[in-house]
Amino acid sequence: MSPGPPFDRETPALLVKIGRYPQHHGGLGVVRTIGRAGVPVHAVVEDRFTPVAFSRHVTSRFVWPTTGLEEPRELVDALLSIGRAIGSRCIPVPTDDEAAILLAECSDRLAECFVLPPTPSGLPRLLASKSSLHGLCEELGVPTPRTRAPENRDELMDAGRELGFPLVLKNRDAWSRLRTPAVCSTTVVRAEQDLLDRYPAGAIPPVLMQEYIPREQAEDWITHLYCGAGGTPRVVFTGLKLRSWPPHAGVTTRAVALNNPCLAKLAGDLCRRIGYSGPADLDWRYDRRDGRYKLVDFNPRTGAQFRLFENVHGIDVVRAMHLDLTGREVPGGPQADGRMFVAGQLDLPSVASWLLHEHRLPPALLSGRETERAWLSRDDPLPVAAEAIRYTGTVARFVRRSLHARFAGRRQESRS
């Protein structure tokens, strides 16, 4: 790998997030990649015990717990206060759709303290909404699974029968997943009765229903890219998702970087046509039945597994954004193929689920030489220790709730 380019160390970066998700390895990746480049990096954290707050690469931490229920003006005022405390204009790096939308739609006010990509202000909201993304794909001729956005229970039932079962449920819009969530995360529903039980009589939350492409007929691919002004891609990376948690529908727990020129062109051409500028994480599902890559999600932000990808100059999407927005050249070159990304504590239950249902070992069980671990790092050991403590607490609470629900059900049965 050739030496990396010089970075502007006078322009710091800020990790920005909205909502509570303290155990997020993507944010830690942002802090590490910028900090290792010698750039000061500041972080918004939910509390002072958030794992990322323990990173040696963090210059300062701003404890700012948010829920997503706040008014935009309140959020912008708080961000400006953070920017003024940093003392110089910095580059915000969003790790969720809500933060990306806020930064774009309030860019005029935020420009006082932040350097932002010149993307059209309404574009991140349009892309993050599963419903409007589907409409955009149909308009531009980009393949995508059949999708419906029901407004009431009758439409819900009609859409289920039209799409067929199993089908996929998602929260329709970025902010609605925090304010009126339809599902906790992407969910596969196997039968109509399961769908009706999930949404009993009455108004339904903003939900998106998507055609399920059979697992045996599909491959899950990802593209991460950073685009400059006018939607010009500066770096484009492609990779294959091997496992996720929950299985086949959740966050990536293991993936491998694989050069896919066809998919890279699809993603790059889409961003050029819509004029998107900034980091992006796109999920595609390759459908062997018709031989097409179908766009499933467009996240207008850094993805949690973005550190899977680098080019031969050591440039990932976050480094590319910092270089571009500070007026420096972004070195081009092929991606480093064969790199593996592993989110260890989430990959373990994914492997267990695979063994349970497939009765055989999953592919790529062992890591290769070029493995990017979500938490473990020799030069930054404290975050993984903090995460282990929080993860143990999360598992303990889950087990306790499960046992409580089981015993409550048994007591109810004994009374009846």
For the stretch 145-197, pLDDT in tens is 999 999 998 999 999 999 999 999 999 999 999 999 999 889 999 999 999 89
Half-sphere exposure of 354 (CA within 13 A, CB side): 20
Q: Tens digit of pLDDT for each residue in 112-133?
A: 999 999 999 999 999 999 999 9
User: Count of CB atoms within 10 A of residue 50's CB?
Assistant: 27
| Residue 84: exposure state from Cβ atoms within 10 A (0-12, 13-18, ≥19) | exposed
Query: In this structure, what token pair is assigned to residue 265?
Result: 């062109």
One-letter amino acid of 305:
Q
Residue with tokens 């993984």: 384
Q: Coil, strand or helix: which one is 307?
A: helix
Mean pLDDT of 93-112: 98
Whole-number Å distance between alpha carbons of 234 and 237: 10
Whole-number Å distance between alpha carbons of 371 and 185: 27
Q: Tens digit of pLDDT for each residue in 60-87?
A: 999 999 999 999 999 999 999 999 999 9
The answer on pLDDT for 357 being more than 90 is: no
Instruction: Give 4's DSSP letter.
Output: P
Beta strands in 183-291 (DSSP E): 187-189, 207-211, 218-227, 233-245, 251-257, 278-287
Residue 83: φ, ψ to 5°: -60, -40
Q: Are the C-beta atoms of 341 and 374 separated by less than 8 Å? A: yes
Q: What is the mean pLDDT of the chain?
A: 92
Whole-number Å distance between alpha carbons of 164 and 346: 30
Mean pLDDT of 321-337: 97
Mean pLDDT of 216-233: 96
Instruction: Give 5's DSSP letter.
Output: P
User: Could you tell me which of 42, 40, 39, 29 has the C-alpha nearest to residue 6?
Assistant: 39
The fraction of the chain above a pLDDT of 90, given in percent, is 81
Alpha-carbon dihedral sign for residues 14, 117, 175, 192 = negative
* Higher-pLDDT residue of 282, 395: 282
pLDDT given at position 351: 79
Mean pLDDT of 346-367: 74
H/E stretch holding 198: helix 192-198
Q: Coil, strand or helix: which one is 349?
A: helix
Q: How confident is the model at residue 402 (pLDDT cuts 50, 70, 90)?
A: low
Residue 214: φ, ψ to 5°: -50, 135
Whole-number Å distance between alpha carbons of 143 and 282: 13
Q: How confident is the model at residue 248 (pLDDT cuts 50, 70, 90)?
A: confident
One-letter amino acid of 144:
T
User: Could you tell me which of 145, 193, 186 has the C-alpha nearest to residue 165?
Assistant: 193
pLDDT given at position 416: 57
Whole-number Å distance between alpha carbons of 403 and 182: 25
Range scoring the smallest mean pLDDT among 96-100, 235-239, 399-403: 399-403
Query: In this structure, what token pair is assigned to residue 400?
Result: 């306790």
pLDDT given at position 245: 85
Whole-number Å distance between alpha carbons of 221 and 392: 31
Q: Are the C-beta atoms of 11 and 324 separated by less than 8 Å? A: no
Whole-number Å distance between alpha carbons of 235 and 99: 22
Whole-number Å distance between alpha carbons of 80 and 64: 13
* Higher-pLDDT residue of 247, 368: 247
pLDDT given at position 107: 98
Geometric angle at alpha carbon 390, from 384 and 392, rounded to 5°:
100
